[in-house]
Structure 1
Amino acid sequence: MPTYVQHAVLGRIPDVFNAEAIWQTPGLALFSRRPLLRDLLERSPREHRGRAATRCFSHVTLMLPQEDVDDDYHLTRGARARDLAQTLTALHQKDFGDLLGSDQVRYDVVGDATLAQGEIEVMFGHAVYLPAPDEKILYNVSVSRDSAIWQPVCPMYPHQRLALIGGEGGEASAVAPAWPFGPDAALLVLNDGPDAPPVVQMRPKDAFDCRYDPRSGYYTIKSMREPGGQRLMLKIERTANTAASMNSASRAVSSAAAPMSAATEAVAGTRAAAAAGAAFDHATPRAALDAAARVATAAAATASTPARPAVWQSRSGSSRPIDLTAVPAASHKPANRPGESDATYAPVSQQRISLVALALPRLSRYRDTGTQALELPFDRQLAISADAPAAITLIVDASDHLYACTPEGRQRIEAPATFAPVDARALRLLPAAPEVADRYRAIVCLAQPVSTGVASGARFTFGRNSPMLASLRLLDSPRFVKRAADAVPASADRIGLSRNAFSFEAVTKGYSITRQSTTQALYHLDDKLQFVASIGDAPYLLPHGHHLMAGHYVLRFEA
């Protein structure tokens, strides 16, 4: 792997704010001369032709002992650190002016608590970038071990080409908290500008699997060195100011452009999808673009001809003979035993009702109950469990704030979001629809729905006092509610669910829903969990596959 970041520690410097002592050794004692900053820049050029340097690095970070930096701030408000950066900038331009070209020389002075007195650490290289004073952040890079607790790593700027992320003690320009892959591994982020998505690669490539999930919006990096190895999530978020400028620019371009034909739209959409997929995976972006364009062009050409129905075609005009179902030549059915007959037992028709999501209420509406928080712990299988160790716990407090709590810590969250604390399963957090936002904060989609069957031809009741569908009321326990010390323990179902909430009966076109309590709020959600209507006292027909939200529970009524 090439050296993207040059690290070196300079020792035995009496005054760490003396720029000349850091830049080069005074005097002509060449044999006792130790390599300093000027020598390091000469030995590691940015570009060279043969042995001759043609371009040098221009961005350098100096790390001084933290105690010296603190003293400078206390006594001179950081004046010595600023003078050090300015003097080194002048020396750099003087000695390497012919190797800079149009590059600007920039120095940054920071503190490091791990350095001893008289030591200075210098860092420069391809992945070291110092922003201009007025340069705005383009991306914010953060990492997570469980997709719930995200910790910031570094920003990226519009003119920054590379960022190298690693752990403590590694050759990286930014250190990721709780880096799980060791000092020999590094994560490289390439920025081709605000018009192109960033490219992420792990080094060494053959030791890691790096994949992007567009639904969750982050990369998942797994070690392939051992089965069930460590993993890390990486999120690269565009800042609000750059996103707004990009949206305004795209709207201006779209308003000035002429309407595209159907074939051109297909090619353009597939090119964009291929470009994003190529950037997120390890494939070559140009190859993915060309392949996607060829596929889209072929699809557009075939789309010009009238499409033939794929199913339910008449076979009367077909010249092929109809294949008959093979029947056995002789029956080998064994003889009936005494008391047996050939009667067939038909099962009673049953429908299924599934709990697919949990609705997090706005606890500010229930302050008089003494409820301080509602906590939903999920085990390693991402099932609700108050006994097993929790892989992740979702919390809504009395101020209607949402939090995610994992062994890595606790962090405030917002919907929409996706959490994958374990492999192969994930929890989705959806925002509440505006029509129900006064009662609910968010909706948590379960990784594995809980289902039960109900017989047709009868009407059943759902509520706190009804044993029907009691297996679906997962929160019917005081263990999920955090209340004041002097408050009486009560089930979480008392928040928003009546004793007899509603009754239901399976009919031909769905389910007949009747609200039984005038204070019970019932909402109809479609098959995509989108709000449809609020259910009142009149009987309501709920189509098959749609959802009913009552209290904490989002139930899907299936055929």
Structure 2
Amino acid sequence: MPVYVQHEVLARVDDVFNAEALWQAPGLSLFSRRPLLRDLLERAPREQRGRAATRCFSHVTLMLPQDEVDDDRHLTRGARVRDLAQSLAALHQKDFGDLLAGEEVRYHVVGNEAVLPGEVKVKFGHAIYLPAPGEQILYTVTASRDSAIWQPVCVVYPNQRLTLVGQDEASATFTVPGWPFGAEGGILLVNDGADAPLEVQVRPKDALDCRFDAANGYYVVRGKRNNGNGASDATGQRLLLRISRADASLRPGTPKSAVASLSAPPAPARPPAVWKPRVAAPEPELTAMPLAGTAAPEAAPLQPPQAESDATYAPVARHRITLAALALPRLSRYRDTGAQALEVGLGPTLGPSAPDKDNVIRFAVDEADEVHAITPAGRQRVAVPSRFAPIDGGSVQLHAVPPQMADRYCALLALPQGPQQPAAAGTRLVFGRGMPSLDTLRVLDAPHFLRHADGSAAASADRLGLSRNAFSWEACAEGMRIVRLSETQALFHLDAGLRLVAQVEGASADSPYLIPPGHHLVAGHYVLRFDA
């Protein structure tokens, strides 16, 4: 594998701002003097024919002890740093002018806490590029371990062809926060111009596995290990790399047809029908349950013929209510209660749970109505709508709130594994914070989710927007009949795609409101879906 980044240390430097002392030692003895900057550039040319150099590198970064740079900024407003960069560029142009092929010589001098006093670190190579003054950014690269907390990695400029990112700053252009693969590999970004998508390659090729996730618009990088048979397979470690183009909404390499819609997932398919006789309940052996692929029973002894039963069988629908999403409230509406933050956790199965260390991801709404994602990597404000993949094979989605509900809610948090409640036909049940029979659906009815300004926990988050007796429902073949029980309870009817159908206002016992199968009803924090 070629060396993309040359990283060297110049030691025993008396004055780190002395350009001549860094460039070339006095005298002609080749055996007594230590290699300095001119020697390093001469020994590692950019291109060569045989042993003769035909081109040299023209962009060089110098890292000085941070204290020296700070002192220069305090005492001379950075004059010694600027003079050092200009003097080295002049020496570079003078000695290697015939090997530059018309390229501009650029030096960048920075401070670094890891550089010891009396040392200077030097970086140059194929993957080192210094932008021209005023050069605009072409790409922005960010990384994440959980798709929720994204941290900046680097930017790529139009004329910056190669960029190597990884763990070790000595062998990479930029380090990646949270890089989980050690120093064994890196990701090479190849920029062939503004009209071509940024190419992403693994270096060395067998070190990592990198695939583009078109649905989410980022690259998934996984480590590899030997499985004992000479082959390698992916480990559990992964890194997400997102490349955003500064002048386009589409990410590079993503065709328009691959941009996934952020609409709500479709309602699950209806379960198999259960068959029962239409008349009075027969004997147990008359109840039929169709099972696929069952083995044929052993032949029974011959019995005398019996009269045929006239029982007929009809399918019965299994109704259920599913907590499909949580409506995250605008806490600014409840300032008089002292509510400061509402936080919801999702466990390893992406089911809702109290916020704790076992959550793979948490979502929080603060008193400024801002939504944040929280993972072991940190806390970060997120946009709505957004999609997250905190674990392999599972995703979480924040949906935008319909405009008619935006004064009450910040976002709709879809629950991949929301709790369910059977809904027997002909039975009317009451939903509200005063009804313990349906508390499996009210996952926020605990003091762990809501925090007050004084740091104390509230009795229940359900007190924000949910009445003690909000509404009642009755399952039927056409859907779910809703009767509004509280005049102050706001109810909203959403379709299967979480789009607003209507605000439920006139639902009475004499004229209930019908929610079709697959549609949703919003009451308080809860988005309930009727499945039949």
- Same fold, TM-score > 0.5, yes or no: yes
1:434 equivalenced with 2:407 (yes/no): no
* Residues 498/63 of structure 1: CA separation in 2 closer, same or farther (3 Å cut): same
For residue 165 of structure 1, what is the aligned residue in structure 2? 165
For residue 542 of structure 1, what is the aligned residue in structure 2? 515
8 Å CA contact retained: 2:186, 2:204: yes
For residue 504 of structure 1, what is the aligned residue in structure 2? 473
Q: Which runs of 5+ in 1 are unaligned?
A: 248-268, 278-329
For residue 24 of structure 1, what is the aligned residue in structure 2? 24
Counterpart residue type for residue 232 of structure 1: L
For residue 386 of structure 2, what is the aligned residue in structure 1? 417
Q: CA deviation at 1:467?
A: 4.0
1:139 equivalenced with 2:142 (yes/no): no
For residue 301 of structure 1, what is the aligned residue in structure 2? none
* Residues 192/446 of structure 1: CA separation in 2 closer, same or farther (3 Å cut): farther
Question: Helix, strand or coil for the counterpart of 1:410?
Answer: strand
Q: CA deviation at 1:178?
A: 2.5
Distance in 1, matches of 2:43 and 2:59, equals 16
8 Å CA contact retained: 2:350, 2:394: yes
Greater CA drift, 518-527 or 73-82:
518-527
Q: CA deviation at 1:271?
A: 7.5
Alignment map for 1:240-319 (pairs within 5 Å): 242-243=247-248
For residue 408 of structure 1, what is the aligned residue in structure 2? 377
For residue 494 of structure 1, what is the aligned residue in structure 2? 463
1:189 equivalenced with 2:192 (yes/no): no
Structure holding more helix per residue? 1
* Residues 335/455 of structure 1: CA separation in 2 closer, same or farther (3 Å cut): farther
8 Å CA contact retained: 2:448, 2:457: no
Counterpart residue type for residue 366 of structure 1: Y
8 Å CA contact retained: 2:106, 2:130: yes
Q: CA deviation at 1:532?
A: 2.6
Residue from 519, 525, 530 that aligns with 2:499: 530
8 Å CA contact retained: 2:327, 2:413: yes
Distance in 1, matches of 2:158 and 2:97, equals 25
For residue 516 of structure 1, what is the aligned residue in structure 2? 485
Q: CA deviation at 1:483?
A: 1.9
Question: Helix, strand or coil for the counterpart of 2:83?
Answer: helix
Question: Helix, strand or coil for the counterpart of 2:390?
Answer: coil
For residue 245 of structure 2, what is the aligned residue in structure 1? 238
Q: CA deviation at 1:170?
A: 4.4
Q: CA deviation at 1:172?
A: 0.5
* Residues 103/365 of structure 1: CA separation in 2 closer, same or farther (3 Å cut): same
For residue 345 of structure 2, what is the aligned residue in structure 1? 377
Q: CA deviation at 1:367?
A: 1.1
Counterpart residue type for residue 243 of structure 1: A
Q: CA deviation at 1:416?
A: 2.2
Distance in 1, matches of 2:40 and 2:198, equals 31
8 Å CA contact retained: 2:162, 2:191: yes
Question: Helix, strand or coil for the counterpart of 2:92?
Answer: helix
For residue 223 of structure 1, what is the aligned residue in structure 2? 223
Greater CA drift, 397-406 or 71-80:
397-406
* Residues 385/99 of structure 1: CA separation in 2 closer, same or farther (3 Å cut): same
Q: How many residues end up aligned between the 2 structures? A: 480
1:555 equivalenced with 2:524 (yes/no): no
* Residues 333/200 of structure 1: CA separation in 2 closer, same or farther (3 Å cut): farther
Counterpart residue type for residue 367 of structure 1: R
Q: Which runs of 5+ in 2 are unaligned?
A: 227-233, 261-296
Q: CA deviation at 1:59?
A: 0.9
For residue 449 of structure 1, what is the aligned residue in structure 2? 418
* Residues 28/349 of structure 1: CA separation in 2 closer, same or farther (3 Å cut): closer
Counterpart residue type for residue 129 of structure 1: Y
Distance in 2, matches of 1:193 and 1:375, equals 44
Q: TM-score by structure 2 length?
A: 0.83
Question: Helix, strand or coil for the counterpart of 2:165?
Answer: strand
Alignment map for 1:82-93 (pairs within 5 Å): 82-93=82-93
Q: CA deviation at 1:61?
A: 0.5
* Residues 68/334 of structure 1: CA separation in 2 closer, same or farther (3 Å cut): farther
Counterpart residue type for residue 398 of structure 1: E
* Residues 149/271 of structure 1: CA separation in 2 closer, same or farther (3 Å cut): closer
Distance in 2, matches of 1:442 and 1:336, equals 66
For residue 305 of structure 1, what is the aligned residue in structure 2? none
8 Å CA contact retained: 2:189, 2:201: yes
8 Å CA contact retained: 2:145, 2:377: yes
Q: CA deviation at 1:536?
A: 1.7
Question: Helix, strand or coil for the counterpart of 1:455?
Answer: coil
Q: TM-score by structure 1 length?
A: 0.79
Greater CA drift, 499-508 or 61-70:
499-508
* Residues 456/197 of structure 1: CA separation in 2 closer, same or farther (3 Å cut): farther
Q: CA deviation at 1:346?
A: 6.7
